């Protein structure tokens, strides 16, 4: 007993943590609407990022970032390293799911107007996380150094070259020279395993800190009694978090009477279920469609069809439809509008208070993205 | 919205599913073959005893090592699964507490490979051992060899491909002789033998090891053209050489690494596209038909006899039910269509049919009819084969040159169709067979067989005056002569005149 006591004393001295503070931290009040699981998927990208970090570190044990060996090392990982095929497939699928999850999360935030004051900055951090995820995907895809991924890197850096003013510098910086080669691979590798994870972690911390500072956005729902209609989110007049924090007098439903619940255990369980579903889904995906390996890169032979990863399909289709310069400028404008949307939205609401312009801009933007993506996928 | 209890239940269920999925991952990893690393094999306790002894130097260790590399070993199909025998099997013997037999017959293999066994048993391959009455056998056992010296030509030659009738050495009381270890003594004139039509002690026909060599039993090896080339080669049936000359063979050699030869199943157009092997066309799976071990199911002509017939003709003459040649050709064309257009395939078959029909009409049928008349008239001995020059000449004409021409056309080997085939058949017919027939006629007249000789002469004249041979008697039609002359002049202008 005395040994245990002295161990406890040592632990308290070594880690002077206030358990009450920890308890309070883990009891962050969560808005009632998060009891609906589909509002709880904001943590999904974080899960997937952690999975990618773990599998990525393991893959780095075997990956060789030089043109002569890159493809062979990926082949060794796929064919020879114990469970290498599984780790590589998990890494690939979690990357794809992460981009999809971020897009879905941003759609939810957009259509519930959760980016509005005071959360404009957090939307911008979120946009940064999506862009970082895309660059992650682009650099990771290129590291495989198979024919199709090599040429995707060539096309990608050529597109970067068309950026006004800084294009030449940007492309040269990314490639480490005028062509995709050994320097490019080294730079992409450094970005993929060093720079981007650091940026991602910083943005994630900022994102979560912002969520903790502002609290999770509370949403108001219209409870309609008609069968089959169910619950619908009030989009036209979203409640700002500040308003919500004050509570709603005269509320009739349980939800409105008790607008929050503690993070642990209820929400923790929800997140655990989502995590388990994700890991199960990832494992099934790796079994049904493991990451395959195409022909090795051949810089002398341009393949008939060059395809980037699916999340660049819409951009790729857009670039095919326009001239190169207009395509790149258009993409840049889209990205800037996307990042600064909360401020544009505020201006639109002030200018046209009675109209739901932001909602329809979102619908149109997403519809165009989907149409372009599917168009590119099936051509 | 779910209660905490429900959530806990879902967590438990999902954890179970996730663990199950991880178990599948572990299974896939365990079953995965890693290049350069030997796959995991399964050795039962019983088989371990066999392996321990047979891993001692000088005790047939290589067969154990080969087996360890086999697909059988990965599935745990070991020594006893194939060699175990019943006490009353004629070749059974006790071997360290186990009853086993040396010979593993197709019937033994059928314990697991039932479909392949049944297909093989009804195939032409399975009938390969029944050649005792053939002319080829006379050559091996009488002309080239001798039954007085143990029949070595047939034993080490013919029967190693065709298969022997496996017999046992017998005591005076007809019981099977056993050696001092109690092992049944197989007649060394009939075994070792892995001929395709071996007649086994259990009554089954053939030997799976004819194609799937012991003890790898490799499906990939059996799909290699070299495997068929053990028997299908040489002057009388050079299918292997013809294949090597054909575009199919050239592609195979050039792209062998893309053939996925060990794939199960092995579907042309899906698992490989580089080239067909013998197994592809005669046995292989396509998206529309399963693989088969009945190798006659895609063949439409018999190219073996002196005069070719459609492959179902013999059965129909005997009133037997059989698969019509049209259906068999359809089966083969289904394989062709995986790589070629319909017009291409149909046109190829026209070219092939034309060669077979030409050979039949020009050399096969006339020479056979003349030989029959010579024998019927008693102009040569009928009770002794190959004692006269003309018998050898006729034999070469259909058995060697005639087959080469037909087989060359069947498998896209142009040199075998013409120079090793029809050209040599023509040479044999005009410069040897016809003069020898005339000699037989003259000899017949000299020896009082004028009527028979005249009958043969009449037939010979009919043949030589027919459209196909009239050039030989200088009776080519003026139109044909003019066309030939014109072609010759053009050729000379191009290559000789300038």
d(CA B374, CA B453): 8
A105: helix, strand or coil:
helix
Q: From chain B, pick out residues whose CB is under 8 angstroms from the CB of A277.
A: 14
What confidence score (pLDDT) does residue B98 get?
Answer: 94
d(CA B147, CA B129): 18
Structure tokens at B293: 């071990």
What confidence score (pLDDT) does residue B5 get?
Answer: 85
| A-chain residue closest to B26, CA distance | A83
Work out the average pLDDT over B194-207: 95
Q: What percent of chain B has pLDDT over 70?
A: 98
What confidence score (pLDDT) does residue A216 get?
Answer: 65
Is the pLDDT reported for residue B307 higher than 70?
Answer: yes
pLDDT tens track for B320-356: 999 999 999 999 999 999 999 999 999 999 999 999 9
d(CA A300, CA B152): 62
Q: What are the phi and psi torsion angles at A28 (to 5°)?
A: -45, 125
Q: How far is A150 from chain B (nearest CA, A)?
A: 23
DSSP-derived secondary structure letter, A264: I
What confidence score (pLDDT) does residue B392 get?
Answer: 97
Taking a C-beta distance cutoff of 8 angstroms, is the pair A122, A213 a contact? no
Structure tokens at B160: 């190693």
Give the domain CATH number at A285.
1.20.810.10
Buried b (16+ CB within 10 A) or exposed e, A222-242: eeeeeeeeeeebeeeebbebe
Nearest alpha-carbon partner for B294 in B443, B455, B126, B112: B126
Of A80, A283, A286, the CB nearest to B35: A80
Say whether B21 and A79 touch across the interface (CB within 8 A): no
Taking a C-beta distance cutoff of 8 angstroms, is the pair A188, A142 a contact? yes
Per-residue pLDDT of chain A (379 residues; tens, 9 = 90+): 678 888 988 888 888 877 777 776 666 666 666 666 666 667 888 899 999 999 999 999 999 999 889 999 999 999 889 999 999 999 999 999 999 999 988 888 888 888 888 889 999 999 999 999 999 999 999 999 999 889 989 988 888 888 888 888 999 999 998 889 889 999 999 999 999 999 999 999 999 888 877 766 666 554 443 333 233 344 333 444 444 344 443 344 454 555 666 777 777 888 889 889 999 999 999 999 999 888 888 888 888 777 888 988 998 899 889 887 888 888 889 999 999 999 999 998 888 887 788 888 889 999 999 999 999 888 7
pLDDT tens track for B89-127: 999 999 999 999 999 999 999 999 999 999 999 999 999
| A-chain residue closest to B18, CA distance | A280
What confidence score (pLDDT) does residue A229 get?
Answer: 29
What confidence score (pLDDT) does residue A34 get?
Answer: 65
A237 domain residue, yes or no: yes
Q: From chain A, pick out residues whose CB is under 8 angstroms from the CB of B24.
A: 283, 287
DSSP string across B110-178: TTT-HHHHHHHHTSTGGGGG--TTSHHHHIIIIISS-GGGT-HHIIIIIHHHH--B--B-B-TTSPBPB
Beta strand extents in chain A (DSSP E only):
29-31, 221-223, 231-233, 260-262
What confidence score (pLDDT) does residue A96 get?
Answer: 93
Burial (Cβ within 10 Å: 0-12, 13-18, ≥19) of residue B74? middle
Say whether B17 and A265 touch across the interface (CB within 8 A): no
What confidence score (pLDDT) does residue A304 get?
Answer: 78
Nearest alpha-carbon partner for B144 in B433, B386, B407, B349: B386
Taking a C-beta distance cutoff of 8 angstroms, is the pair B404, B369 a contact? no
Is the pLDDT reported for residue B305 higher than 60?
Answer: yes
Say whether B25 and A283 touch across the interface (CB within 8 A): yes
d(CA B48, CA A193): 50
A157 domain residue, yes or no: yes
Work out the average pLDDT over B413-432: 98
Nearest alpha-carbon partner for B311 in B329, B285, B293, B335: B329
- Give the position of tokens 């259906």: B327
Band of residue B465 on the pLDDT scale cut at 50, 70, 90: very high
Question: How many folded domains does chain A comprise?
Answer: 1
* Residue among A272, A274, A278 with most chain B CBs within 10 A, to mutate: A272
Collect all residues with Cβ–Cβ distance below 8 Å to B442 and sequence separation of at least 6: B453
* Lowest-pLDDT range of A241-245, B12-16, B367-371, B483-487: A241-245
- Residues of A with a Cβ under 8 Å from any B Cβ are 35-36, 79-80, 82-83, 85-86, 265-266, 269-270, 272-273, 276-277, 279-280, 283-284, 286-287
Work out the average pLDDT over B449-455: 97
d(CA B434, CA B472): 11
Of A269, A279, A287, the CB nearest to B4: A269
B267: helix, strand or coil:
strand
A379 domain residue, yes or no: no
Q: Are strands B92-95 and B98-101 parallel, antiparallel or unpaired?
A: antiparallel
Say whether B18 and A279 touch across the interface (CB within 8 A): yes
Work out the average pLDDT over B59-81: 93
Q: What is each CA distance from B322 to B117, B282, B296, B407, in whole angstroms? A: 19, 18, 11, 23
Mean pLDDT (chain B, rounded) = 93
What confidence score (pLDDT) does residue B387 get?
Answer: 95
- ipTM for this prediction: 0.71
CB pairs under 8 A between A and B: 52
Tell me how many helices (H) and strands (E) chain A has. 17, 4
A192 domain residue, yes or no: yes
| A-chain residue closest to B32, CA distance | A79
d(CA A140, CA A312): 14
Say whether B10 and A273 touch across the interface (CB within 8 A): yes
Nearest alpha-carbon partner for A142 in A158, A126, A153: A153
* Residue among B5, B6, B10 with most chain A CBs within 10 A, to mutate: B10
d(CA B320, CA B322): 6
- How many other CB atoms are found less than 10 A from the CB of residue B305? 14
d(CA B181, CA B93): 9
What confidence score (pLDDT) does residue A70 get?
Answer: 93
| B-chain residue closest to A37, CA distance | B1
Say whether B35 and A79 touch across the interface (CB within 8 A): yes
Over the Cα atoms of chain B, what is R_g? 30
Collect all residues with Cβ–Cβ distance below 8 Å to A327 and sequence separation of at least 6: A159, A162, A318, A319, A320, A321
Q: What are the phi and psi torsion angles at A29 (to 5°)?
A: -65, 130
Q: What are the phi and psi torsion angles at B106 (to 5°)?
A: -55, -30
d(CA A321, CA A138): 22
- Give the position of tokens 């429900």: B6
Say whether B11 and A277 touch across the interface (CB within 8 A): no
Of B7, B24, B34, the CB nearest to A273: B7
What confidence score (pLDDT) does residue A135 get?
Answer: 93
Taking a C-beta distance cutoff of 8 angstroms, is the pair B197, B125 a contact? yes
A13 domain residue, yes or no: no
State the residue range of the domain holding A253.
Answer: 29-302
A325 domain residue, yes or no: no
Taking a C-beta distance cutoff of 8 angstroms, is the pair B303, B410 a contact? yes
């Amino acid at each position: 007993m005395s040994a245990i006591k002295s161990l406890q004393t040592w632990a308290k001295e070594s880690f002077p943590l206030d358990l009450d503070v920890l308890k309070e931290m883990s009891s962050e009040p969560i808005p009632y609407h998060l009891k609906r699981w589909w509002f709880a998927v904001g943590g999904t990208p974080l899960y997937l990022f952690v999975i990618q970090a773990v599998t990525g570190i393991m893959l780095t044990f075997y990956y060789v970032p030089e043109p002569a060996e890159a493809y062979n090392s990926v082949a060794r990982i796929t064919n020879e390293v114990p469970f290498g095929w599984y780790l590589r497939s998990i890494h690939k699928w979690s990357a794809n799911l992460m981009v999809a999850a971020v897009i879905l999360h941003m759609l939810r935030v957009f259509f519930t107007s959760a980016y509005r004051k005071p959360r404009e900055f957090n939307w911008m951090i979120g946009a940064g996380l999506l862009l970082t995820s895309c660059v992650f995907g682009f650099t990771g895809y290129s590291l495989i150094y198979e024919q199709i991924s090599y040429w995707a890197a060539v096309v990608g850096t050529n597109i970067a070259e068309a950026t006004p003013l800084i294009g030449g510098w940007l492309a040269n910086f990314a490639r480490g020279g005028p062509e995709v080669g050994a320097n490019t691979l080294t730079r992409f590798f450094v970005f993929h395993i060093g720079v981007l994870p650091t940026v991602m972690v910083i943005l994630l911390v900022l994102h979560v800190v912002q969520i903790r500072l502002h609290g999770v956005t509370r949403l108001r729902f219209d409870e309609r009694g008609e069968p089959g209609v169910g619950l619908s989110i009030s989009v036209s007049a979203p409640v700002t978090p500040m308003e919500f924090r004050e509570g709603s007098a005269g509320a009739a439903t349980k939800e409105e009477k008790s607008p929050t619940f503690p993070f642990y255990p209820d929400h923790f369980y929800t997140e655990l279920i989502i995590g388990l579903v994700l890991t199960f889904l990832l494992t099934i995906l790796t079994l049904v469609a493991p990451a395959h390996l195409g022909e090795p890169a051949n810089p002398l032979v341009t393949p008939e069809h060059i395809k980037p990863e699916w999340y660049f399909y819409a951009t790729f289709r857009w670039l095919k439809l326009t001239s190169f310069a207009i395509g790149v400028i258009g993409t840049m404008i889209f990205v800037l509008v996307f990042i600064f949307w909360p401020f544009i939205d505020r201006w639109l609401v002030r200018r046209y208070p009675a109209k739901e312009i932001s909602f329809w801009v979102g619908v149109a933007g997403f519809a165009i993205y989907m149409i372009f993506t599917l168009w590119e996928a099936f051509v | 919205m779910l209660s905490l209890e429900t959530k806990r239940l879902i967590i438990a269920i999902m954890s179970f599913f996730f663990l199950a999925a991880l178990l599948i991952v572990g299974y896939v990893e365990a079953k995965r073959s890693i290049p350069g690393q030997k796959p995991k094999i399964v050795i039962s306790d019983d088989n371990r005893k066999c392996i321990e002894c047979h891993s001692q130097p000088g005790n047939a260790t290589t067969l154990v090592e080969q087996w360890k590399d086999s697909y059988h070993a990965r599935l745990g199909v070991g020594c006893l699964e194939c060699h175990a025998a019943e006490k009353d099997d004629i070749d059974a013997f006790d071997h360290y507490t186990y009853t086993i037999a040396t010979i593993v017959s197709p019937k033994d293999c059928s314990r697991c490979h039932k479909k392949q066994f049944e297909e093989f048993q009804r195939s032409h391959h399975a009938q390969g051992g029944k050649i005792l009455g053939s002319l080829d056998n006379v050559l091996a056992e009488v002309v080239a060899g001798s039954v007085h010296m143990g029949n070595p030509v047939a034993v080490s030659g013919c029967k190693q491909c065709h298969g022997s009738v496996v017999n046992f050495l017998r005591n005076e009381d007809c019981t099977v002789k056993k050696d001092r270890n109690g092992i049944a003594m197989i007649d060394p004139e009939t075994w070792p033998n892995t001929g395709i039509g071996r007649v086994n002690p259990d009554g089954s026909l053939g030997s799976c090891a004819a194609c799937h060599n012991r003890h790898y039993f490799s499906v990939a090896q059996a799909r290699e053209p070299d495997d068929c080339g053990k028997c299908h080669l040489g002057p009388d049936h050079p299918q292997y050489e013809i294949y090597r000359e054909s575009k199919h063979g050239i592609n195979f050699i050039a792209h062998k690494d893309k053939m996925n030869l060990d794939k199960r199943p092995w579907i042309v157009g899906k698992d490989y596209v580089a080239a067909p092997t013998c197994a592809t066309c005669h046995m292989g799976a396509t998206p529309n038909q399963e693989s088969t071990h009945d190798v006659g199911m895609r063949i439409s002509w018999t190219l073996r006899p002196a005069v070719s017939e459609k492959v179902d003709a013999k059965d129909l003459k005997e009133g037997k039910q059989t698969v019509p040649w049209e259906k068999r050709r359809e089966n083969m064309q289904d394989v062709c269509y995986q790589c070629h257009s319909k017009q291409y395939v149909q046109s190829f078959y026209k070219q092939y049919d034309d060669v077979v029909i030409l050979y039949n009409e020009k050399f096969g049928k006339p020479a056979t009819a003349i030989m029959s008349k010579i024998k019927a008239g008693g102009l040569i001995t009928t009770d002794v084969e190959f004692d006269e020059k003309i018998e050898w000449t006729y034999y070469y004409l259909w058995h060697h040159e005639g087959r080469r021409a037909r087989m060359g056309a069947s498998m896209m080997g142009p040199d075998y169709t013409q120079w090793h085939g029809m050209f040599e058949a023509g040479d044999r017919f005009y410069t040897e067979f016809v003069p020898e027939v005339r000699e037989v006629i003259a000899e017949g007249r000299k020896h009082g067989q004028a009527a028979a000789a005249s009958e043969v002469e009449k037939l010979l004249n009919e043949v030589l005056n027919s459209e196909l041979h009239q050039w030989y008697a200088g009776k080519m039609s003026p139109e044909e002569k003019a066309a030939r002359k014109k072609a010759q002049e053009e050729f000379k202008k191009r290559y000789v005149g300038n």
